Chain A
Amino acid sequence: MAKHLDYLRESASQTAGPYVHIGLAPGAAGFDIYRRELGWDIAGPNAKGERIRVEGLVIDGMGAPIKDVMLEIWQANAEGHYAHPEGGGPVEEGFRGWGRVITDFATGEWGFDTVKPGKTRGRNIGTQAPHLNLWIVARGINIGLNTRMYFADEVEANAKDPVLNLIEWENRRATLIAQRIERDGLPVYRFEIRLQGEAETVFFDL
């Protein structure tokens, strides 16, 4: 495409493979090497807003949990600002909005603690409902899969969300909405990601 113009071509993706932990979570691979591994603290101690836990499974086309997944999270703070120069406004000191989690090798369960994000501005007009941006890599996944997690207790905002409304099959929108439960007084959102088959999660080409 457009080879007669002088654009460079993006480097092709390759699978992260089964040993992704060595590079991105070496402690989980079985050795300590860095002063500090990156991505374990998403919101930091100063972030305002509701503290929540998010957890779930990534499930393959056979219905089995994937036990060597890495997920990255990218989210706004409670005011809807991303920690980035174009992020819409200031964020609390220590709020990074980015996280990296891996699944338990035995069960496939993953989870992380953060704050519930606020509404963010829409592409041109309006607002987007609170959401987490997720990127999923693993052995067998050739190019990272992008999805979003929305919150079941944001019924009104979800109904107006421009991205959810882009999905023409209304029943598929539900695959992006995490249910809220309470555990020990802490709100927990459960989010199962199904890579393939029945109730397949919506993935985006960003």
Chain B
Amino acid sequence: MMKPGEFHQRDRDIHPPALTPGYKTSVARSPRYSLISLQNSVSEITGPVFGHNDVDAGDNDLLTNYAKAGQSPIGERIILHGRVLDENARPVPNTLVEIWQANAGGRYRHKKDTYLAPIDPNFGGCGRTVTDENGYFYFRTVKPGAYPWRNYVNNWRPAHIHVSVFGTAFVQRLITQCYFEGDPFIPLCPIVQTIPDADAIDQLTAKLDLKATIPLDTVAYRFDIILRGRRSTLFENRLEGN
């Protein structure tokens, strides 16, 4: 008898390890002991459920969600869109996707950010949406600028948008960053380079999507998010470790 079973084990070879000394803050914030492997119980195969009561229709439009009436943020107008799929290539519908980013000059609207590039009065920098029945999502925003950070003396983050996604289970929870095709800072960035696998970095790089670009209006980038998949359980009667 088939029933949905455990989630596929996370392939840690495509994720950054905890300790990546080129990214200096990771040195004191990485565990030294091994992770303890835990097979899925009800605590892991479940996770929070979100719906359209949780987010408003305009929450995914960063061009308008913090702008004064009739005004607009300054910067390259873009659509960031894609699908949330699992490793089995099945869509993940009704899942919460949240993003945050700097403005076009690389300045974050955060009381801890003191970079001298100015705040944009019409740009907040966060958005959220729930995927549709096909796992599809989209945001409108401006393309963020690169910004400097105190790691090595002359480190600059590539343009990036932070992405948080839930899936249906707590084991699928993921925060990552979306980069942009062709950015020369990508290979130079110690945070990008925490990822040991070149294909995995490419998968985090949004592609210019000319077909979704709106002529005379907005450039589009495509960014698909892949979450852990789940196997079907044919037999499940082992006692090992419960």
Binding site for B on A (CB under 8 A): 1, 6-24, 26, 29-31, 33-36, 38, 60-62, 64, 66, 68, 72, 74, 76, 82-88, 96-98, 105, 120-126, 128, 131, 133, 135, 137-146, 148, 162-163, 166-167, 172, 195-197, 200-206
Contacts and interface: CB of A to CB of B under 8 A. Distances in A.
A203 B28 contact: no
Interface of B: 4, 8, 10-18, 20, 23, 25-33, 35-50, 54, 56, 59, 65-66, 85-89, 96, 98-101, 108-113, 124-126, 128, 162, 164, 168, 170-171, 173-177, 191-192, 194-195, 197, 199-201, 203-204, 225-229, 236-239, 241-242
| Most chain B beta carbons < 10 A, residue from A14, A24, A98 | A14
| Most chain A beta carbons < 10 A, residue from B12, B25, B87 | B25
A135 B138 CA distance: 26
B227 A11 contact: yes
B152 to A, nearest CB: 15
B197 to A, nearest CB: 7
A140 B25 CA distance: 4
A116 to B, nearest CB: 15
B108 A206 contact: no
A33 B66 contact: yes
Contacts, number: 281
Contacts of B32: 61, 196-197, 200
Q: Interface SS of chain A: helix, strand, loop or mixed?
A: loop
Given A10-B226, A124-B242, A206-B170, A74 B43 contact: yes
12 contacts: A10-B14, A12-B201, A12-B203, A14-B195, A16-B162, A19-B113, A38-B50, A128-B41, A133-B44, A205-B37, A206-B10, A206-B38
